[in-house]
Structure 1
């Protein structure tokens, strides 16, 4: 891929320092050196020790990338929520894993995105997942189209400036409880079952913020903001406070309403496009199964409807 900058600093500066400041790591520079990338200043190819002067035009051609052999293309369609030269955001349906594994090697979102990139004649069909979702969770997923684009947005992830907002339907209502709260509890694998996460003082720091959107007789719809990104964080945190998600049998959530999965959807995704500095705010509509559950809860004559500002008093 091709990237360009104009060097505007008053004082001369080594090319390597300038590239590092613009997000190119030492590893990526080495990859360009040994795998076919090129760096030009003006019309001349230059070494990273070249000294830049004000007004110089720097052009970088990143090394070509190949998709991993283990990620075979799948012709199943993808729903594109946003796309530019560096990033792709897709709307993941439930029951599709993010990455290939032994029990689902061929039709994951990675497989589908690889085929999409090939079909759309992208410069590379290499798949770089930036944000992933559990197999049965639906909603927005962010992909990068190159390792460099991945590294740039990964910095935002570590700085917690990539905002992922979920909608969840949890068991039991929050009547008489705060309608907004924070769950700050470290998580670790359960000693009883490795796939399950439990609150553990020796676990990894985890922080989930929530706002109740609507209360019902024995359920609630909540908006959830992640401040960390641990495995099963939302599911484990709500189970830990006595509100497991509907349909989430792994964490003790009640079944019913025709649900065959946990009632969790990645609703909104917001981040700054690192190359254009554009603020992107994307939204995914609630899928049919969760929309139906919400509608059934509202139709229930025993439902108790409250807006998010209600303090829980009847």
Structure 2
């Protein structure tokens, strides 16, 4: 018999998923069979496959050591030698970590950068603290920001918290607010609800009406691109010399949603050359900052404006003090 204590970060993970990670060399169907036959018990009792494990639970596997050794080959091992562990922590407890992502850093690895990303920094930070207590669950981000967007990123340190964060986001129960500077004079409040179409090859997002027209012109008709609903609320905080300071509430979370929506109404983000904006004072990327998040349980987190954005706000004849009373 193999026994294993469930660690704090593994709490909240469902039994069948835990066993799948524990023994990656056997098929999922066999995992289910083990649970049904009582060959995998928790605290000496049979549990169903969706049982949520808790820290301190004792998992008992009624398999011989040779069989377990073969089944568990291929478990991921974590190595953080030489990985940057410097992160700006906005909030941290045993389950949740809220970090500040600076401009220019990827949230997750891609083809251009595999090592120095926000999530790798987070893992290295937790590793050095001794908080990575399991190779079967790695803390992960619940939201992600573009490379050149700064601000708040939520990290689930436990499987249960990560699941909760994802549920809140999927049900639109978690409020996410951004600050941006747009071209032109935009006043009052409004809602942008044009459906969006994603072009992965071109790494662009367009409102559905524009994307459909472009597709039809290019192919002479044919299948329409897949549309996804997207809702963006905004309110103008201040207008200055040809620019406006805007707070945005992102209801849905489509890739490049804010950038595409504001381009569609003729108010591209300052510096956002990819979506119709013009370079400004040496800035050739979107001025966009995820500055405030409110959780359904009432907790609220805020991230200070990056210095470059604060300077651009003042240079454009606006004032960052407009955020003070929000």
Higher helix share: 2
> Structure 2 unaligned runs (5+)?
1-5, 24-39, 49-53, 60-74, 210-225
1:209 to 222, 233, 244: 233
Partners of 1:242 and 1:299 in 2: CA distance = 20
Q: Matches of 1:101 and 1:59 in 2, distance apart?
A: 33
CA RMSD of aligned residues (A): 3.2
Structure 2 CA distance for aligned equivalents of residues 243 and 88 of structure 1 = 34
Alignment deviations for residues 238-287 of structure 1 (CA, whole Å, 9 cap, x no partner): 00110010111100111112324210000001214xxxxx5320000110
Paired residues in the alignment total: 260
> How far has the Cα of 1:72 moved from its partner?
8.1
The aligned residue for residue 204 of structure 2 is 196
**Structure 1 or 2: more strand by fraction:** 1
SS, match of residue 113 in structure 2? coil
Deviations 1:124-176 (A, max 9, x none): 4723111100000000001112333211221111110111100000111125x
1:1-314 equivalences under 5 Å are 28-33=14-19, 35=22, 39-40=42-43, 45-48=44-47, 61=57, 74-122=83-131, 123-124=133-134, 126-174=138-186, 179-190=188-199, 194-200=202-208, 202-272=226-296, 278-298=297-317
Distance (Å, rounded) in 1 between the aligned partners of 2:273 and 2:80: 30
Separation in 2 of the partners of 1:106 and 1:117? 16
After TM superposition, the runs of 4+ consecutive aligned structure 1 residues lying more than 4 A away are 66-73
Structure 1 residues not aligned, in runs of 5+:
4-22, 50-57, 273-277, 301-305, 308-314
| Partner Cα distance (2:95, 2:280) in 1 | 41
Q: 1:24 to 1:144 in 2, by over 3 A?
A: closer
Cα deviation code 1:167-187 (max 9, x no counterpart): 000111125xxx100000111
Per the alignment, do residues 47 and 150 of structure 1 end up closer, same or farther by CA in structure 2, a change over 3 Å counting? same
TM-score, normalised on structure 1?
0.74
Contact 1:74 1:115 in 2 (8 A): yes
The SS at the match of 1:141 is: strand
Measured against aligned partners, the alpha-carbon deviations of 1:25-46 in whole angstroms (never above 9, x if no partner) come to: 7xx2213456399744xxxx32
